[in-house]
Amino acid sequence: MWDAPTSTDRTLEVVRTMNTALRHRGPDGAGVAVVGDRRLTIRRWTGTGELAAPPSSIAQRSEGSVGLGMNRLAIRDVEAGHQPMVDASGTCTIVFNGEIYNTEEIEPDLRAAGVVLKTRSDTEVILEAYRLWGPACVERLVGMFAFAIWDDREESLFIARDRLGIKPVVWARARGAFLFGSELKALLRTNLVSRKVRHKAINRFLYHLYVPPPEGPLEDVHVLEPAHTLTLRGGDISIRRYWSASCATGPRRSTDQHAEHFRSLMERAVRSHLVSDVPVGAFLSGGLDSSTVVTLMKRFATSSVHTYTVGFDVAAYDESRDTAASAAFMGTQHTEIQVALKDIEDVILPVLTHYDQPFADASAVPTYLLCRETARHVKVALAGDGSDEQLAGYPRVRHYGLLEAMRRAPRPLRDAIGRGIEGVAPLLGQRARGARNFAEYAAVLHAGGANDPMSGYIHLRHVFRNGWHERLLSTAFAESVVADDPSFHIHAAAEASRAGDPLTRMLDVEVQTYLPNDILQKVDIASGAHGLEVRVPFLDHRLVEAVAAMPLHMKLRPRESKVALRRSMGRDLPPHTLTTRKRGFHLPVAEWFRERGKPLLHDVLLSKRAFERGYFVPSVLTAMVAEHVSGTANHGNMLFALLQLELWHRTWVDAPSA
């Protein structure tokens, strides 16, 4: 392994190496700023790798070695918004990933303080806001962002992540160096970071299909959580949370008043998310959320709206007919990307290995395909993500309500319900799996889960249920994680919530955990792989704060979900979006593993190399594969997670240089 960089040339080499690892995120140019020998030197390159201009140099106080690097996706002020960017005084230098949507609100305050803005870039607005207000500047920003500022006045590095976690930050202290980036692969490329795996992280992944922050999957690696800042000064790190959405009940309003308030905030969010100097498109699924975004885009866009969707040749997973009907109703320029099962086979390995942390949401594969095709037409796309978590769009919200009622019931009644449901489940056809949720949860309660108010939610999120988790783990691995709470982040979010009822608390937990760690991570990696920026108007934090304070009946009623959204937008949306059952963005992994994906299970998952890691009992894993391939059971989601885990090890842990 290399030693930590201590010279200007060595720092430049390391930062350039990290930039190269993330070239896919910003194909329009690159830049590096290096502090050394009391000088800040900036170098920039074009999208084709040629030096854009002679290096520039500015005097600095620091005698240390500091480097900032950036790959640019040029969207705002294409000609002048280059990074790294230095402020007018030459003391603060920034690299920034994301978009700030309220620059027109901040700029007058900056000018009143004597700031002269030289560009139309939101990067400069952040930089001057920091110089004027310091770390508190994040509280005035509306947008999605991850940025780092070297402050030569304080000889400190300040890093911030947006409130909802749309943009990522990973960091590590290793071999005397502090490293950070948008993806772990940049840190690994330096060969400064140890590839020693955290056993706790693997166990947590098996519960949640992601590794919950702040600890990463490797011993040296950490993740800056949403709504947090990190300051590095004199070798000391301080981390601070600067925002949370309170679920305490807000002002009393009628249903119509709540709906009107929601619509006004949603309109403001979509209008602000259209700011761009390049064309903006939208993902369209034919569902309620994306149709809402596109409907409002049509209202505010100055040109025709282009929409994009993926259609599958497996009917059970295909929404293209509904999407085409929505596009026709709204009058968009629509592009449908048809994907056959064989196309999925071509990309499933590249997708699984591109995710540089253990991550097993199978919808990452179609998301990757959608982003790849959309990026051939536009650089920016709006999406409907974030609505389900806030407005009770997932069926598991109702399921959790039933499980929570079961948890609160007397123990004899719980046990009787469990036995009864298990007995009738074989007679319920397609509803058998849902029924077994209750029988399996009865076993969880019997084993001592009744005192945990989030045990029902954890049960619903846990893929390795019905005893598979316990049977799979080897004795040695199980003993190494026995003292760990794999759902610590869920318990922490629930304890901090100010929600007044269990369902609202669950939604609060979803926004704090599942949304950033699964949904947003999936979209960021898939879109970043193709140099596409995805914006999410439902996660404008002002809208999130308002929804969090709405009473539960504006989110969920006995026969209606997303109440505020339906009541505010219903008259403007395609009629079928209000009645079509939510299908999600799934992948037919179960079928694929029984057919063309079967060799992958045997060659990778059941390989000697995989067994020697010592995580799992080989005979149990072999039995799981056999049951699935034979069709006697459906273990598709578990096998997908285990396959991704093994491929992650081979790509990012075993490799001497990723």
Q: Do the Cβ atoms of 211 and 201 come closer than 8 Å?
A: yes
Q: Which of 280, 264, 304, 261 is nearest to 383 (CA)?
A: 280
pLDDT mean over 485-492: 97
**CB neighbourhood size of 321 (10 A):** 13
Q: In CATH terms, are 8-241 and 255-392+502-578 the same topology?
A: no
Q: Rounded to whole angstroms, how far apart are CA atoms 541 and 482?
A: 38
Distance, in Å, from the CA atom of 625 to the CA atom of 621, rounded to the nearest integer, reads 6
Give the model's confidence band at 333: pLDDT under 50 very low, under 70 low, under 90 confident, else very high: very high
Report, as an integer, the average pLDDT of 92-111: 97
Query: What homologous superfamily does CATH list for 255-392+502-578?
Result: HUPs (3.40.50.620)
612 in Cβ contact with 326 (< 8 Å): no
Q: CA 447: distance to chain centroid?
A: 33
Total number of residues shown for the chain:
658
Q: Would the pLDDT of 464 be above 80?
A: yes
The 8-class DSSP code of residue 425 comes to: G
Structure tokens at 598: 């079967």
Report residue 658's pLDDT band, with 50, 70 and 90 as the boundaries.
Answer: very low
For residues 353-359, give the mean pLDDT: 96
Residue 3 in this model has a pLDDT that exceeds 80 = no
What would the mean pLDDT of 36-52 be, rounded to a whole number? 88
Q: What angle do CA 79, 81, 82 make, to 5 degrees?
A: 95
Write down the pLDDT at residue 4.
57
Contact yes or no for 229/159 (Cβ under 8 A)? yes
User: Looking at the predicted structure, is the pLDDT value of residue 403 above 60?
Assistant: yes
Residue 424 has pLDDT above 60, yes or no: no
pLDDT over threshold 80, residue 423? no
- Cα–Cα distances in angstroms (integers) from residue 6 to residues 55, 66, 92, 439, 641, in the given order: 20, 9, 21, 60, 41
d(CA 405, CA 456): 10
CA gap 177, 235 in Å, rounded: 10
Residue 127's nearest CA partner among 164, 163, 81 is 81
Burial of 78 (0-12, 13-18, 19+ CB in 10 A): middle
Question: Is the N-terminal amide bond of 84 cis, ω within 30° of 0?
Answer: yes
Residue 244: pLDDT band by 50, 70, 90 thresholds?
A: very high
Is residue 457 within 8 A of residue 506, CB to CB? The reply is yes
Would you say residue 430 has pLDDT above 90?
no
Vertex 469, ends 466 and 472: CA angle to 5°? 120
Burial class (CB in 10 A: 0-12, 13-18, 19+), 385: buried
113-131 pLDDT tens trace = 999 999 999 999 999 999 9
Arithmetic mean of pLDDT, 393-416: 88
Confidence of residue 1 (pLDDT cuts 50, 70, 90): very low
Query: Which tops the pLDDT comparison, 248 or 61?
Result: 61
Long-range CB contacts (within 8 A, 24+) of 36-41: 36/7, 36/8, 36/11, 36/64, 36/65, 36/66, 37/8, 37/63, 38/62, 38/63, 39/8, 40/86, 40/90, 40/93, 40/150, 40/152, 41/8
> Which of 260 and 582 is assigned the larger pLDDT?
260
Q: Are 295 and 559 in contact (CB under 8 A)?
A: no
pLDDT tens, position by position, 194-217 = 999 999 999 999 999 999 999 999
Compute CA 533 distance to the chain's CA centroid, rounded to the nearest angstrom.
13
CATH H-level, domain 8-241: superfamily: Aminohydrolase, N-terminal nucleophile (Ntn) domain (3.60.20.10)
pLDDT per residue as tens digits for the range 529-538? 999 999 999 9
Residues 6+ apart with CB under 8 A from 212: 204, 488, 489, 513, 517
The one-character DSSP state at 550 is: S
Predicted pLDDT at 64: 79
Averaged pLDDT score across all residues of the chain: 91
Residue whose token pair is 């800056």: 224
State the DSSP string of 484-503: --TTHHHHHHHHH---SSHH
Helix/strand/coil for 96: strand
Once rounded to an integer, what is the mean pLDDT over residues 19-33?
95
Distance CA 84, CA 603 (A): 45
Cα–chain-centroid distance for residue 141?
20
d(CA 191, CA 175): 10
Task: Assess whether the previous peptide bond of 366 is cis (omega < 30° from 0).
Answer: no
CB burial class (10 A; 0-12, 13-18, 19+) of residue 314? Answer: middle
Domain map (residue ranges) of the chain? 8-241, 255-392+502-578
Residue range 157-177: mean pLDDT, rounded: 96
Quote the tokens at residue 275: 């700011």
Measuring CA to CA, which residue among 143, 135, 110, 139 is closest to residue 124? 110
Whether pLDDT at 331 is above 80: yes
* Residue 444: pLDDT over 70: yes
Helices and strands per DSSP (H, E), number in the chain: 28, 20
